[in-house]
């Protein structure tokens, strides 16, 4: 199992596009959570963990979508993702 995390700009069609890419790559989602803010949308899915090369190809396809800000996998051995804070001095 792995968790796929995708952050996008708010768009009514982006979830459908992400699910279509996952379906094309034969990845099975077990749970899907989508959270929306005024401008940002987070999509989190627990999926069957693909092998490294197919996982990279899946991420590359998702990142090519126009509204996607980032996409990545979290595996059980990794700590949960927390957005890093940076400042320009």
Spell out the SS3 assignment of 23-66. Answer: HHCCCCEEEEEEEECCCEEEEEEEECCCCHHHHHHHHHHHHCCC
pLDDT digits (tens, 9 = 90+) for 29-70: 999 999 999 999 999 999 987 788 888 999 999 999 999 999
Query: Does the reported pTM lie above 0.75?
Result: yes
75's CB contacts (< 8 A; 6+ apart) are 2, 3, 49
What pLDDT is stored for residue 40 in this prediction?
94
CATH number at residue 7: 3.30.70.260
Domain that holds residue 70: 2-74
Domain count for the chain:
1
Let me know: does 33 contact 1? Beta carbons within 8 Å: no
> Has residue 53 been placed in a domain?
yes
Nearest to 1 by CA among 79, 80, 74: 74
Flag whether 70 is in a domain.
Answer: yes
């Amino acid at each position: 199992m792995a968790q796929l995390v995708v952050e996008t700009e708010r768009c009514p069609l982006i979830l459908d596009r992400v699910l279509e890419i996952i379906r094309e790559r034969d990845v099975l989602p077990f749970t899907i959570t989508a959270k929306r803010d005024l401008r940002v949308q987070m999509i989190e899915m627990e999926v069957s963990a693909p092998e490294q090369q197919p996982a990279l190809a899946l991420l590359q396809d998702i990142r090519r979508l126009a509204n996607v800000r980032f996409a990545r996998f979290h595996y059980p051995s990794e700590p949960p993702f927390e957005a890093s804070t940076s400042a320009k001095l």
